[in-house]
Each structure stands twice: as C-alpha cells, then as structure tokens.
Amino acid sequence: MLLTLNQVLFIILTVAAVVVATLLALFLVQLRRTAREGEKTLAKAQELMEGMKVIEAKIDSGLDDLGHVLSTSKKAVSRLSEITYFLSPKGLRPSAKYWPFLFPLIRFGWQQLKKRKEKHHGE
C-alpha cells in the first residue's frame, strides 16, 4: 500500500500539529506555575513592605525623640557654659592663690583614708 504525496504531507502536518499542541500545553502549564509563584512572591513582598512601614514609623518616632534629646542637651551645655563662665573669674581666680596649699593637704587626707580602709578590711 503506497501513500500518496497528499497523505504523507497530511501525516507530517498532523504530527507537527500534535507536537506544537503538546509544547504549547507544557508552556501554558509552566506559565501557570510561574504566575502562582509570582503571586506568592508578591504577597510576601507586600507583607515585607508592611513590616518596613512599621519599622519606618518606629525610626521616625526615635528620630523625633532624638531631636528632643539633642535640643535638651544643647540647652544643658549652654547653661553649663554659663555657669563655668560665671565661676571662672569670680570663684576660681581669687582662690587660685590657695590651691598650692590645699592640694597637698587634700592628697594627704586621701592617703590617710585609704590606709584606714585597708586596715579595716585587712582585719
């Protein structure tokens, strides 16, 4: 039984159509899997973005608190500067002539206290 040219071409086209249909079906199945994975990834990305928003809010509140702390520290330093400026000419300079006598006395007293503590702890 011999096949005519039309029958051979029909068989070839049929096989080609089946192969193309099979490849198209496999491609669509893979595309569907990829789309599902993409949806899962997108959902996780949205969850992470929500977490980032919470972190961002905490950081913003921390920065606001830090600004308040910095302004308070700046005020404290300026007040301390004013106090030292006031004490330097009125308190330290007039008493500076007594410091050479007071430092050795303070040092001697401190050494005596240390010896007394050592004796007390040694007994």
Q: What is the tens place of the pLDDT at every residue in 74-113?
A: 999 988 888 777 766 666 666 677 777 788 888 889 898 8
Averaged pLDDT score across all residues of the chain:
87
Highest mean predicted confidence (pLDDT) among 24-38, 44-58, 64-78: 24-38
Q: What does the pLDDT average to over 9-19?
A: 96
Q: What does the pLDDT average to over 16-41?
A: 96
* pLDDT the model gives residue 66: 85
| Rg of the chain, C-alpha, whole Å | 44
- pTM beyond cutoff 0.85: no
Confidence at 122, pLDDT banded by 50, 70, 90: low
What is the residue extent of each domain of the chain?
5-122
- Rounded to an integer, what distance in angstroms lies between the CA atom of residue 123 and that of residue 113? 16
Q: Is 97 helix (H, G, I), strand (E, B) or coil?
A: coil
Q: Which two tokens stand for residue 59?
A: 């950081």
